[in-house]
Structure 1
């Protein structure tokens, strides 16, 4: 473990490209970052929750907001911070130990090579994904729609009546 870069707090930032499960007696998560590869003793869910808390929200709260707005009940994209375009795409159910979380802002493209799906990041690194191209395309499109919606929601503001009460049906 001496050669491994272990990080305890603040593991997910705007520089995070992906997180995956890591099978090791002490370490649970592998973090792909612009500054290299890091490891954490915390689970992916714990790291994602910490990232949400940093932006004054919660993992469950962000998922609930997306599910209410878009009716994505499974493999829901996690919008950690719409202002910073910090959004993670799950490749499978988050309850699945093999779920990979890919961060939207770093995706250059994704492609099939030798029958296997890869994501290529803007820094030219690649990661083999464990889902089909169809699933990842669907997840990418969902996350793009969510980012657009939530990033622009604050700019547009909710519709209000003359008394100032919100008329936006999204909050119903």
Structure 2
């Protein structure tokens, strides 16, 4: 996968987070944290997420719509990039904002509050980041991602052959 012309990067099961950073000139770029490395990519995090979704034959808007269909979440919805690889991410703020960061659900070990307004997220590989959102919001996002993951995996596990009427129902 080559999501940008400025370098090759692929969201994998080793990706911990895509952190929005702003350059001194006001451009939003991405600090990519992986289990064994860290690097800067000169595009916004949501663009990397969209390109990862497209690699798996979807798009970020499609994944957001899918989350709404499965779990009913409309605000800061978690998404699945690849269900078979277990790659689920949640946004720290609205995905429509350029400065939205994305956190991989499966790599979170714990989190704690710095001051009630910022949260330190501790990852399973021993690294940590500070995000400018409340610990209550992070707790909510972790719980919503777990619920979405359960609902989606349960739906897939118990799916059967659908009739044409069942398939057409969401479009009616």
Query: Would the TM-score normalized by the shorter structure come out above 0.5?
Result: yes
Residue 111 of structure 1 pairs with residue 112 of structure 2: yes
SS in structure 2 of the partner of residue 152 of structure 1? helix
Query: Which residue number corresponds to residue 95 of structure 2?
Result: 94
Partner deviation per Cα, 1:70-114 (whole Å, 9 max, x = no partner): 221111112111222211111111233432211011011111245
- TM-score calculated relative to the size of structure 2: 0.82
Residues 44 and 64 of structure 1: is their aligned pair in 2 closer, same or farther, counting only changes over 3 Å? same
- TM-score calculated relative to the size of structure 1: 0.82
Residues 59 and 141 of structure 1: is their aligned pair in 2 closer, same or farther, counting only changes over 3 Å? same
Residues 61 and 34 of structure 1: is their aligned pair in 2 closer, same or farther, counting only changes over 3 Å? same
Residue 18 of structure 1 pairs with residue 1 of structure 2: no
Query: Which residue number corresponds to residue 35 of structure 1?
Result: 36
Residues 159 and 50 of structure 1: is their aligned pair in 2 closer, same or farther, counting only changes over 3 Å? same
SS in structure 2 of the partner of residue 108 of structure 1? strand
Farther-moved stretch of structure 1 (111-120 vs 122-131) = 111-120
* Conserved? CA contact 2:90–2:103, under 8 Å: yes
Residues 10 and 57 of structure 1: is their aligned pair in 2 closer, same or farther, counting only changes over 3 Å? same
Query: Which residue number corresponds to residue 3 of structure 1?
Result: none
Query: Which residue number corresponds to residue 139 of structure 1?
Result: 141
Separation in structure 1 between the aligned mates of residue 169 and residue 88 of structure 2, nearest angstrom: 21
Residues 170 and 80 of structure 1: is their aligned pair in 2 closer, same or farther, counting only changes over 3 Å? farther
RMSD: 2.4
* Conserved? CA contact 1:91–1:136, under 8 Å: yes
Among residues 126, 134, 153, which one is paired with 1:124 in the alignment?
A: 126
Structure 1 unpaired stretches of 5+: 1-6
